[in-house]
A and B are shown apart, each in its own frame.
Chain A
Amino acid sequence: MAIVVNRRPLTFWEKLYLPAFIGGFKVTIRHAIGTLFGGKKVTMEYPEQKWAVPEGYRGAPYLVRDQEGNTKCVSCQLCEFVCPPKAIKIYPPGPAGQEADRANAEKMPDDFQINFLRCIYCGLCQEVCPEEAIFLLKDYSITGMTREELVFDKEKLLALGGVHAGVEKWKHKQDEAREQENFPVKA
């Protein structure tokens, strides 16, 4: 059933549009003065002022190092496979490749490229990484003048990523192994 809302008919005073006119002037003047003299503007002038990036923000994915400055990535290529826009490209070291930084890590990538023109900041690489080697950090303004410039290589990603104080997965295993060796066994 339709509900009829009875609207109050306008009075003569209201029909002259004058109350609306005066009200409009009041509101606009209040806002104009507040903006001009009260510093109440809501605009944030972006390149000079920047907003605080909140925790858990999904910015650009970068590679990180562990506490001892070793590359955490072991070139497993899971992120490359999971990456929906195929932005990640990993060059594994191959049989004759470079040794890994960390003891107990089998290998590390020869090169690791992220194309930031393709990256959609989905965070699947971070989620899939078994080594906690790639993180979406707080950078949100990735710009460049050429396409080549926006393909970041391993060195650049590591430099931007910095050190991540997380679990040192293989160090723990190494310590365990060492303790096994030192365990006093009666001859």
Chain B
Amino acid sequence: MDWNFIIFSVVKIAIVIGAVQTFAAYAVLAERKISAWIQDRVGPNRVAPPFMKYVPIIGPALTRWGIFQPLADGLKFMLKEDFTPESVRKAYFWLAPAVSVIPSTIVIAVIPFGSYLGHQKMVIADLNVGILYTFGVVSLGVYGIVLAGYAANSKYPFLGGIRSSAQMISYEIAMGMSVIPIFLIASTLNLTNVVNWQSSHGWLIIYAPLSFIIFLVSSFAETNRTPFDLPEAETELVGGYHTEYGSMKFALFFLAEYSNMVAASGMMVTLFFGGWTLPFWGLDQPAHSIAIGVAQIIIFIIKMAVLMTLFIWVRWMFPRFRYDQLMDLGWRKFVPLALANILITAIVLWAIS
């Protein structure tokens, strides 16, 4: 154990967690803005700190774009009374938001978000079983939701929790199987090596488009986004699993959902879109200077932002799937498709070799 490693890890963890939470907060703003545009509205355009009106041009423009809205939202959640209803199961009620938010935050540990800055690898934990870790941890997220539904001691949140567990089971399998071709092709489970493989052979989405589609749809289900937002179907379940929650506890669920989105986008960028690489300007090699290192981190963030936009956009495009349709899609379409995908990839690889 050398101290250097510990210190740099702690710094990286702090920065990444801060960045992810900021990203999640601004994803909420993006969600509100994009939904507004799609629905012919304006979206948040009022909130600003009082001194902003004295800043010429930039101040009103930022206000117009709602840049300060996430700050106001966060502050609002902090200041609200932390209310615990009489009828809930107290211990689980307090535990559930934490159980929900922790997995969604620690998933990001294995995603390589850049090559090198100085001599530091831009990944918190360069595990050899990165993808297995991801699936293991992401699956834990469902416990938070189920626990919240159970703890609320009321029927609608409970229904939300049940739906969530059923949904998770059916999509986890398809998702897990959809990435097996990736590792057959790249012949490694280490995400850094997957990115390196892509920098020399081209992005994996070209080799395994079907994997990408299955993974994308499964991650919609995984992150409880429309069209698979059954656990929090407002029109059917009041508010879903977090009906009884308010203030910071609710904010944690919110944060968990959006961190999950960030993690899923990061995962997709890493697995299918070449991670931090771009195929030109020499950006596909590990960086030797700070500038290129930073550029690669920015490339990763931009790619992630594009996928996040897709997540958000799809939410305002599609109606919710019915429960039985969802099960049908998961078990009877995606699982066989993913199996066939594995088989075909394996046969093709065997034929080539």
Do A and B pair up? The answer is yes
A20 to B37, CA, bound (A): 20
Kindly state whether residue B40 has any CB partner on chain A within 8 Å: yes
Q: A24-B317, A24-B318, A25-B317 are in contact. Are A31 and B37 (CB under 8 A)?
A: yes
Whether a CB of chain B sits under 8 angstroms from the CB of A146 is: no
Residue pair A42, B317 in contact (C-beta under 8 Å) = no
Residues of A within 8 A of B39 (CB): 31
Cβ–Cβ contact A28 & B313, under 8 A = yes
Q: Which of A24, A25, A43 contacts B41 (CB 8 A)?
A: A43
Are A36 and B37 neighbours in the complex by a CB distance under 8 Å?
yes
Q: Complex formed: what's the CA distance from A20 to B317 in Å? A: 10
**Shortest CB distance A35–B (Å):** 5
Nearest B residue (CB) for A44:
B42
Smallest distance from the beta carbon of B344 to chain A beta carbons, Å? 18
**What is the 8 Å Cβ interface bit string for chain B, positions 313-353, against chain A (1 contact, 0 not)?**
10011100000000000000000000000000000000000
- A159 interface contact, C-beta 8 A: no
Supposing A24-B318, A25-B317 touch, asked if A31 and B42 sit within 8 A by C-beta, the answer is no
A32 contacts B by Cβ under 8 Å: yes
Cβ contact of A34, chosen from B40, B313, B316, cutoff 8 A: B40
Is A40 positioned at the interface, with any CB of B under 8 Å from its CB? yes
- B34 sits at the interface (CB 8 A): yes
Interface check A45, CB cutoff 8 A: yes
Q: How far is the CB of B43 from chain A (nearest CB, A)?
A: 9
B132 touches A (CB below 8 Å) = no
Find out whether the CB atom of A28 lies under 8 angstroms from the CB atom of B38: yes
Chain B residues whose C-beta falls within 8 Å of the C-beta of A40 in the assembled complex: 40
- Measured CB to CB, the closest approach of chain B to A126, in angstroms, equals 37
Q: How large is the interface on B (under 10, 10 to 19, 20 to 34, 35 or more residues)?
A: 10 to 19
A41 sits at the interface (CB 8 A): yes
Within 8 Å by CB of B37, from A25, A27, A32, lies A32
CA distance A160 to B161 in the complex (A): 58
In the complex, the answer to whether B41 meets A42 with C-beta atoms within 8 Å is yes
Determine whether the beta carbon of B317 is less than 8 Å from that of A35.
Answer: no
CB pair A41–B318 under 8 Å, yes or no, is no
Tell whether, in the assembled complex, residue A45 and residue B317 are in contact, meaning their CB atoms are under 8 Å apart: no
A31 touches B40 (CB 8 A): yes
- Contact present for B41 and A32 (CB under 8 Å): no
Q: Judging by beta carbons under 8 Å apart, are B41 and A28 in contact?
A: no
B-contacting residues, A127-149, CB 8 Å: none
Which chain B residues numbered 276 to 318 have a C-beta less than 8 Å away from chain A?
Answer: 313, 316-318
Q: Check A32 against B34 for contact (C-beta < 8 Å).
A: yes
Q: Report whether B42 and A41 are in contact in the complex, using a CB–CB cutoff of 8 Å.
A: yes
Contact of B40 with A28 in the complex, beta carbons under 8 Å: no
Within 8 A of B (CB), among A42-89: 42-43, 45
B37 and A35 within 8 A (CB):
yes
Q: How many whole Å from A146's CB to the nearest CB in chain B? A: 24
Whether A35 and B316, one on each chain, are in contact in the complex, defined by CB atoms closer than 8 angstroms, is no
Q: Which residue of B lies closest to A47 (CB)?
A: B46
Assess whether B41 is in contact with A35, with CB atoms less than 8 Å apart: yes
Q: Bound complex: CA of A36 vs CA of B318, how far in Å?
A: 21
Between B36, B38, B45, B316, the greatest number of chain A beta carbons within 10 A of the residue's beta carbon is seen for B38
Question: How many Å lie between the Cα of A31 and that of B40 in the bound state?
Answer: 6
Contacts of A28 in B (CB 8 A): 38, 313, 316-317
Quote the shortest CB–CB distance from B308 to chain A (angstroms). 16
Task: Name the A residues within 8 Å of B317 (CB-CB).
Answer: 24-25, 27-28
Which residues from A are CB-within-8-Å of B318?
A: 20, 24
Query: In the docked arrangement, what's the CA distance between A36 and B34, Å?
Result: 10
Kindly state the separation between the CA atoms of A24 and B42 in the bound complex, as whole angstroms: 20
Distance from A120 Cβ to chain B, minimum over Cβ atoms (Å): 30
Closest chain-A Cβ to B41's Cβ sits at a distance in Å of 5
A residues lining the B interface (CB < 8 Å): 20, 24-25, 27-28, 31-32, 34-36, 40-43, 45
